[in-house]
Structure 1
Amino acid sequence: MMSLWEAAWVIARRDFVATVWSRTFVLFLLAPLIVVAFTLLVSTMSARREAAALQPVVALVADSATTQAIMDARDRLVAGTSEQAFPALRPVEPAEHVGAQVSQLLADVEGNYSAVLSGTLDHPVLTGPRRADQFVARRLQLVIDDARQMSTIAAGHRDFRSVPVQRVVTAAAAGNLQMLRRQFARGGQTLIFMVTVLLATLLLSTLVEEKSNKVIEVLAAAVPLDSIFLGKLFAMLAISTVGLIVWGSIGGVAYLFSQVVSDWVNLPDVSPAVGWPAFIVLIIVYYATNFMLLGSLFLGIGAQASSVREIQTISMPVTMLQLLVFLLAINATGSDAGWMGWAAWLVPFSSPMAMVGYASMSDSLWPHLLALLWQLAWIVVIVRISSRLFQRTVMKSGSPGSLFDLKAWRAGGAG
């Protein structure tokens, strides 16, 4: 019988070649690109329309001087913030009975007014539902205050001009540095999470077909069960690596093209704490360990299923598990993580993503060695448990052996 590692290599090569050289692998590569491109297109087309739909519209019923003063004040505040930071104001010519006009405006379906602002600068009146106080009333108060201040300055015949703030540019600031590094951590964690959700969940259904056509029995008779699980893990990791290389190359070319069109490549002035080269290497390594950890767990769970229907039932809890692990990891990023940080580092399934955040915030490298050894140990344990459960509950053959007997792993012999 072949040794454990030799058998794992044979299984991995068999699955890798069978998957990569199939026609469906092209669809596997194209599907995420089509989804991302379609999502970007739809989000870009609907961004402005959605922002306009969510912005409250307030009817401004006042005399021409008051209307002009309020509109000018809003323009000044919007220039320093954004158009969506304040409600849209739509001037309406006052009627003879303003009270009746306000009621009509609020009932006007075509006008779609959230509130009506009437009166003067000295006595403004905002009419509308109570929920308008949460955004509309507070922002309009700032607009009216600005208009009153400018009116007071103009009445005193004083010239008020905006004074530009002198800028002294420094290399970095502690607060800005931590904020950017936290963003790098979130980006790395999100990347690992999204790719793992996309790829590792496929391992749930890996053994279903082979169990149905009895191929697994032939493999189990020829090689150790541990090598079957390891081989399939390595094969799926290699397949996902091919996908990442293709997607990353396309994304890199698109990014370079967009930067060349604008000027040239703009890299961030701030780097992660360990530096960009080490950070990129750690993201790749932690992606591999994260994939192996969750993949070995999903492979073990999927090995217990007997049909595709059972796999579909399992998929939802598995996806929720991944989401919970991701939330634990991103909430543990930062110097104030406390016990949540330790929990994210020690829980094997969140450890890779949590350590990506640690690499972004701290320049210490020795904790990564400990974390990788910890994660690799759990990969071995999960594979052993999965293979023993599969042998006992599905194959129903032979003695499952000792769970902690790792002589075969160390020597590469049959298990």
Structure 2
Amino acid sequence: MSRSARLSLWNAAFVIARRDFTAIVFSKVFLLFLIGPLFFLAISAGGGMIGGMAASGINNPALGIAMSAQDNAAVKQANEALDPLVGMPDILLIEEASRDDPAALLDDEDRNLFAVLTGTLDNPLLTGPKEDVERWEGEIAMMVGAARGEAIPQAGIRTSITDGGIINRQTARDATARAGILVLFMLTMFLAGMILSNLVEEKGNKIIEILAAAIPMDAVFVGKLFAMLGVSLVGLTVWGTAAGAILYFGASALPPIPPPAVGWPMFFALFVTYFSMSYLLIGSVFITIGSMAPTVREVQTISLPATILNLGIFFLAMYALSKPGSPLEVAAAIFPLSSPYMMLARAAQDGVLWWHLAALAWQVLWVAIFVKVGATLFRRTVLKSGGAGRVRDTERKGLLAMLGLAKLGILSNRS
């Protein structure tokens, strides 16, 4: 077989990717694969809605009123008068000696208070977390004004923020970073297994040997990697749309989600990009394992160390996240398999964008290295090509490959 009959590396990779992508996406099994996680998503959303409805009617935090007995009575009367009109918070009258310490009252779990109003009607002080103080400050000022006998409040009230920003900006971004790493890891591990099963099936049908005889093995690996990546992105789009719809309609029942440093649009774009790189990196390792394992049972045995390695990388990224700027964090960002996780975390923590370009170029380089190493191992261990005594066998496989690929519709009309 002459070299003119062989497709170039990228043309062959595109043909393999198109064939695998079309065969998988338009199958009934893939439809069930897409629907499966949606059931779990719907069940989780339904359980969350039911739990939110149940929690909304019980144990509502109250506003503690820790003034004199006379002022407490006036505030209670004003609250009852205004509640039907503007919706006032529930109040709890406190007349013990402990009312002089608002922080102690807020820490008392038995009272379940979101804020405490102390001082006098002429000089009130509202103490509580920033979010709750900002939410209720206007209504409480109106209530105090009504307790003083004012139709319109003549002055506001003093406030004291007790948490000092418990959920401060850095802590919030750390939470977003950890959530991003967790979702990225789960999606990568859930979807990367498709590469193994696909390759083992084609080995069992001898299709992979036909492909390897007529198409560069590097092109076979690249084509299958990008085909599975395309399939994964289709699933990611469907699941992401469903999750986005649930979040949109249930936004009122959710707590505020801290935004990442680069903003949500850029963070989502980087998430998809780093998911693609993580999938290609892990997939290139998995496809090498699958190409050398003769049966599905052996694939499961051989892939176990790779799965454990990926778990170790996940825990490394989560631990390194807690030590920003340390040598461990820098090493985790450089190591190719953990680099997508750490760079996504950096997108949540820091708004610098240029280093993402450097990281992506570094990860692309390692994808190429892993694919080249995997293809070489496959040729030497499975096909056992390269020896002088294999020339006739290679020519015979080439002729069979021409016939096989013609039946599969993979080879072009080039003669």
The two structures have a TM-score, normalised by structure 2, of 0.64
Secondary structure at the residue paired with 1:167?
A: strand
1:28 aligns with 2:33: yes
* Structure 2 unaligned regions, length at least 5: 1-5, 53-95, 97-104, 115-123, 128-157, 389-415
Which residue of structure 1 aligns with residue 181 of structure 2? Answer: 189
Deviation at 1:44, TM superposition (A): 8.5
Q: Which residue identity lines up with residue 392 of structure 1 in the other structure?
A: R
Q: Could you say if the C-alpha distance between residues 175 and 32 of structure 1 is closer, same or farther in structure 2, counting changes exceeding 3 Å?
A: closer
2:19 pairs with one of 1, 14, 20: 14
Provide the secondary structure at the position in 2 that maps to 1:363: coil
- Post-superposition shift, 1:36? 3.8
Aligned partner of 2:159 in structure 1 is 167
Tell me how far 1:12 sits from its aligned partner. 0.4
Paired residue secondary structure (2:168) = helix
Distance 1:201 1:10 in 2: 22
Instruction: Measure the CA separation in 2 of the matches of 1:225 and 1:313.
Output: 24
CA deviation digits over 1:99-120, x for unaligned, max 9? xxxxxxxxxxxxxxxxxxxxxx
Counterpart position of 2:66: none
Identity level (%) = 43
Pairing 1:64-79 to 2, within 5 Å after superposition: 76-79=108-111
The answer to whether the 8 Å contact 1:189/1:356 transfers is yes
Deviation of 1:184 after TM superposition, in Å, equals 1.2
Deviation sequence 1:234-286 (CA, Å, 0-9, x none) = 00000000001111111112222223xx49x9864x53222222222111111
Residue identity matched to 2:349: M
Q: Shift in Å at residue 312 of structure 1?
A: 2.1
State how far apart, in whole Å, the 1-side matches of 2:107 and 2:8 are. 75
Structure 2 residue identity aligned to 1:249: T
**Equivalent-residue separation in structure 2 for 1:255 and 1:19 (angstroms):** 29
| 1-structure distance, mates of 2:362, 2:379 | 26
Equivalent in 246, 270, 273 of residue 238 of structure 2 = 246
Q: Which amino acid aligns with 2:361?
A: L
The correspondence for 1:4, drawn from 9, 28, 35, is 9
Task: Sort the Cα spacing of 1:346 and 1:245 in 2 relative to 1 into closer, same or farther, 3 A.
Answer: same
2:91 is matched with: none
How far 1:38 moved relative to its partner? 4.3
2:329 counterpart (337, 341, 344): 341
Q: Give the partner amino acid of 1:293.
A: L
Correspondence 1:329 to 2:339: no
Q: Distance in 2 between matches of 1:295 and 1:192?
A: 14
Counterpart of 1:386 in structure 2 is 374
> Contact 1:329/1:354 (CA < 8 Å) preserved in 2?
yes
Query: 1:273, 1:362 within 8 Å by CA — same for their partners in 2?
Result: yes
CA deviation profile, 1:22-77 (whole Å, cap 9, x unmatched): 11011110122223444566789899xxxxxxxxxxxxxxxxxxxxx9xxx99953
1:13-162 → structure 2 map (5 Å cutoff):
13-38=18-43, 76-80=108-112
User: How many angstroms apart in 2 are the aligned matches of 1:186 and 1:399?
Assistant: 50
* TM-aligned CA deviation for residue 167 of structure 1: 3.4
Taking the aligned partners of 1:296 and 1:220, their CA distance within structure 2 comes to 17
CA RMSD of aligned residues (A): 3.3
- Per the alignment, in what secondary structure is the counterpart of residue 262 of structure 2? coil
Contact in 1 for aligned 2:225/2:283 (Cα 8 Å)? yes
**3-state DSSP of counterpart to 2:261:** coil
**How many Å apart are 1:21 and its aligned residue?**
0.8
Is the contact made by 2:225 and 2:280 (CA closer than 8 Å) also made in structure 1? yes
Conservation of the 8 A alpha-carbon contact between 2:126 and 2:159: no
TM-score calculated relative to the size of structure 1: 0.64
Distance 1:223 1:351 in 2: 32
Amino acid at match of 2:236: L
Q: Distance in 2 between matches of 1:294 and 1:304?
A: 16
**Residue aligned with 1:164, SS:** strand
Corresponding residue of 1:116: none
Change (3 A) 1:324 1:42: farther
CA contact (8 A) 1:206 1:299 kept: no
Question: In 1, are the aligned partners of 2:261 and 2:351 still within 8 Å (CA)?
Answer: yes
The equivalent residue for 2:199 is 207
In the other structure, the counterpart of 2:299 is: 311
Residues 74 and 347 of structure 1, relative CA distance in 2, 3 Å threshold: closer
- SS of the residue corresponding to residue 78 of structure 1 reads coil
How far apart, in 1, do the equivalents of 2:380 and 2:330 lie? Answer: 35
Match of 1:7, SS? helix
Deviates more, 1:298-307 or 1:28-37: 28-37
**Is the CA contact (8 Å cut-off) linking 1:201 and 1:315 kept in structure 2?**
no
Alpha-carbon distance in 1 for matches of 2:319, 2:325: 7
